Amino acid sequence: MILAHLYVVESADFIFLMRQTGLTQGNLSAHMSKLEKAGYIKIKKEFVNRRPHTLLRLTDKGRESFKKYVQSMKHIFNGVSERRKNEKSS
């Protein structure tokens, strides 16, 4: 879900992603760490008006991996759809 949100934007901040995904701060942080370790996202931490601000962006590797995931899911769903059509016509 995080990668899907990042796929359509240049970058997103932590609060935006937390609201969009419905994840808690702790859960989102844990997912971010794993995605960063895998090389799928880059995390930039800075201060804006003395407040911490965390930006996330998809790396090229993350973008390509998500694209492949979407393609494989489409293939699976198309296969299910074809089987249902064949079952109905039998």
Q: Which residue has the higher pLDDT, 57 or 83?
A: 57
Residue 48 predicted with pLDDT over 80: yes
Domain ranges in the chain?
2-89
What's the topology of domain 2-89?
Arc Repressor Mutant, subunit A (1.10.10)
Is the per-residue pLDDT at 82 higher than 90? no
Tell me the backbone φ, ψ of residue 40, rounded to 5 degrees: -85, -30
Separation CA 61–CA 80 (nearest Å): 29
- pLDDT the model gives residue 23: 96
What are the beta bridge partners of residue 52? 47
pLDDT value of position 83 = 66
Proportion of the chain above pLDDT 70, given as a percent: 88
